[in-house]
Amino acid sequence: MPIQSAGLLLYRGPEVFLIHMGGPIWAKQDLGAWSIPKGLIGPGEDPLAAARREFTEETGFTAQGPFEELGIFRQNRGKDLHVWAAQGDCDPAALKSNQFQMVWPPKSGRLQSFVEADRGAWFGAEEAQAKIVAGQRPVLESFFRRAR
C-alpha cells in the first residue's frame, strides 16, 4: 500500500505558494525542486488535519479555510498525496520551517540537521509548473483547470 501524505496549496488570485525543498540534495536545484507544503499523515490522523499541520510545520504560517479538496494524486510509485486548496496570503520572507536530520555527506556517519523548506515564493501557472517536482504537476494542472 502506498504511503499516504497530505498537503495544502495556498493561492491568491492567479498565483500559488510553493516551497523550495531544503537540504543539500536540493540546494543547487531550482526547476523541479519546489513543492506544495506536505507531509505524512499520522496513524489515525484526519488527512485535512495532517495537511494543515504540515503546512504550518513547513512554513510557520497558518492556512485558514474554507478548504477545497482537489483530490488524491499518485506522487510516485510509493506515495499518494491528498491535497486541498485554500485562498490566503503570506510573506515568503517570513517563512520559518521545521528541520529534519540525515546523514551528510553520504556514508560519512555524520548526522546533520537541515530545514525542510529553505524558502517560499508565489508563482503564476506557467512558472509554477516549471518549478514544482514532476510528481506534483498533476496537482497544479487540476487546480488551474478549476480556477478557469
Q: What tens digit of pLDDT does each residue of 93-143 get?
A: 999 999 999 999 999 999 999 999 999 999 999 999 999 999 999 999 999
In which residue are the cell numbers 515568503 written? 92
Question: What letter represents residue 69's amino acid?
Answer: E
Question: Would the pTM count as exceeding 0.75?
Answer: yes
C-alpha cell at 147: 480556477
Q: Which CATH number fits domain 3-147: 3.90.79.10, 3.40.50.2300, 2.40.10.10, 3.30.1360.20?
A: 3.90.79.10
- Is residue 147 pLDDT above 90, yes or no? no
pLDDT of residue 1: 82
H/E segment holding residue 140: helix 137-147
Domain ranges of the chain: 3-147
Q: In the chain, how long is the greatest CA-to-CA distance?
A: 50
Q: Write the pLDDT tens digit of every residue in 38-65.
A: 999 999 999 999 999 999 999 999 999 8
- Rounded mean pLDDT of 9-24? 96
